[in-house]
Structures are given as C-alpha cells and as structure tokens.
Amino acid sequence: MPTATNRPLNRKVVLVDYVKDMVGPEHFRIEEESAREPNEGEVLVKVDSISIDAFIRTSLNDVEGLHQQVPIGGTIVALGVGRVIESNAPGFAVGDAVSGPLLAQTYATMPAAMMQKIDEALPLSTYLGALGLTTGLTAYVGIRYVGNVKAGETVLVSAAAGAVGCIAAQIAKILGAKVIGLAGGPEKVAFLTDTLGLDVGIDYKNEDVDARLKVLAPEGIDVFFDNVGGELLDTALDNIRERGRVVICGAISQYNDHQHVRGPSLYLRLAERYARMEGFTVMHFTQQYGEAHAQLVQWLTEGKLRMPEQVEHGIDGFPAALRKLFEGGNTGKMLVKP
C-alpha cells in the first residue's frame, strides 16, 4: 500500500510550440498541478536533478524523428534522478534513490518498471553524468566498441568539453591513445589540457583545424569521435588515416534543422583510405551496460576520470539551460536542479 502523504505541488515544463530553429524560452511554459498519487506498480519521485541532453531537441520537432516526439502541451522528455517519496510498487521504498525518464518536472509519478535504483556511494547526479546512459555509458561503448581505440593510436574528439565528449576523450586517454580535443574558445581548450589531461586542444572557433591536424597528426588520425557533424566532420574525413574509424555519436550542429541535415562531402576518403564510418546509440549495447558501469566506477574512484558539472537551479531555468547547451555555453555535464 502507498505511504500516505500530502500531495506536493508539481511544476513541469510543457511544450507550447514546435521548434523550427534555435530552441528558446518562447517554446515552453511552466504549469503547476498536484502530483498524482501512484497507482499499483508506480512510485512518486521528488526530482533531484534533470539531465540536459542534445536528444531533447530532436523530440521538439513537428515531425517524428529518432526520438519520441513531445506533443503540444506535453511535458518535455528528460532523464533525471531523485528519491521515492511514495511507493505503491514492491521492491521500492520511501527514500530509495532512483534514475529514469522523470521528465522536466519537480515531481514524477512513474511506473516502477521504468526506474532503476541507484547506489548512493556516489552523488546522485553522477548517474546522469559519468555513469549516465546518455553520457558516460554512451562515451564508453562508442570509444571501446565502435571506435575500438587502441594504445598508441591518435584519437580526435569533437565537442570535447561537452558531457559526452569529455568522457570519451578521457577514456581514449586512459586506453593509451594520443587524444586531440576540439572545443570552442581558449578557456575550453585550456580545460581540455589542464583539467582533463588531453594531449592537445584545438580551438575550432579561432584556429584552422585542418592546418593544426596536419601538424599534430601528420600521418592522420586513427579514430574520430564525432558529436558535432557539419564542417568538422569533413575536416576529420580529410585527415583520416588508412583503416581509420569515424564514430558518429551525434551531430548537434544539425539538430536545429532536421529537414535539411547536411551530410559529409568528403565521404570518399573512406574508400580511398580503407576507413569506415559507423553510427550508434547506446541502446544497441545493452549487454555491455554492466561492464561499462563497473569500469566507469573504477576509473572514477581511482581519480582517472573527471566529470565537471554545470548546474542551473530552478525548473524555470530548464529552457535557458537547453538553449545554452546548443550555444556551446556549457563545460562538462549540464544539469538542472529543480
């Protein structure tokens, strides 16, 4: 039976208009309602942190895409962590820490089957960042299983100061690769080398990336882990080494106009150099989740892996935080604490 509580006030971010270009506060509104009592098999969760991920943008188009489309008036899809404050589900007790698709809101009544209990040995937000499905686990399987990075290879990572990029770059470094990170602005480039320990950073906004790569990797790059797409993908293809691998994790530069996504023009470099380009999502690697989680925890506890967080406070700040992600205004994992 559920534990009796007063119904808390839930504040949620809902969609008022589909996004045609850059996402902004005008596309959302905050609605208030009493949190719903959990039915059989459900739990009521007080949300602690919400993950700001690039995939959210793809759910805001007026046509269905890779991810679930949010209907007008619907609550914005987002992953989160929090604590159970009311349970009507076996195996879940008041006070349990959980992660799952909690949506952009302050309280979530959800099927317990959609929740995963999490260990509190690490801060809850770690399960959205370094141990998060869309961040740490994505970076791990992308580098280890898709990119198949080996010691001594040269790895290039785009958006290397972002959430997935910074974990992917660090994992490649741990595996013994020479790692070159791409980021926008001198502060982010300094972050790549001084905080993350990468071999070198390139400021794609102020430097000639192609020229720099030809100096830093004259024989070419073995693996390109791409989060951006667009011109940077073509530049990487032009510098790919024989039998190199291009890992397509994301293409944030293309998400604002899904109807006119621009593909690479230099894809023939793949044939010329017997290289390959492969896309993936973490959902293709469910059998590796346990391994990925255990290895990431070990690296975190050993101090080999760092996951900086940028936190916006208050559910009202969710729209601005999402826009900041697409303007490159974050370093590390972007979170909202409602």
Residue 22 lies in a domain: yes
Rg of the chain's alpha carbons, rounded to an integer?
20
The DSSP element (H or E) to which 296 belongs, if any, is helix 289-301
Structure tokens at 301: 């506890």
Burial 156-183 (b: 16+ CB within 10 A, else e): bbbbbbbbbbbbbbbbbbbbebbbbbbb
Residues 148 and 247 in one domain: yes
- Asked whether residue 302 is domain-assigned, the answer is no
Q: 92 and 141: one domain?
A: no
51 and 181, same domain (yes or no): no
Q: Is the dihedral of CA 61, 62, 64, 69 positive or negative?
A: positive
Indicate whether 268 belongs to any domain.
yes
Q: How many CB atoms lie within 10 A of CB 239?
A: 24
212 is a domain residue? yes
For residue 271, being part of any structural domain is answered with yes
Looking at residue 285, what DSSP letter applies? G
The CA–CA distances, whole Å, from 113 to 90, 101, 181 equal: 10, 11, 38
Please give the chain's pLDDT, 338 residues, in tens. 444 457 899 999 999 999 988 999 999 999 999 999 999 999 999 999 999 998 999 899 887 655 678 999 999 999 999 999 999 999 999 999 999 999 999 999 999 999 999 999 999 999 999 999 999 999 999 999 999 999 999 999 999 999 999 999 999 999 999 999 999 999 999 999 999 999 999 999 999 999 999 999 999 999 999 998 889 999 999 999 999 999 999 876 555 555 556 778 999 999 999 999 999 999 999 999 999 999 999 999 999 999 999 999 999 999 999 999 988 889 999 999 99
Domain boundary, last residue among 268, 284, 300: 284
Whichever domain contains 328, its CATH number is: 3.90.180.10
Domain range for 261: 133-284
| pTM score of the predicted model | 0.92
57 within a domain of the structure (yes/no): yes
Q: Within this chain, do residues 137 and 279 fall inside the same structural domain, yes or no?
A: yes
Torsion sign over Cα 158, 164, 168, 169: positive
Q: Are residues 141 and 214 located together in one domain of the fold? A: yes
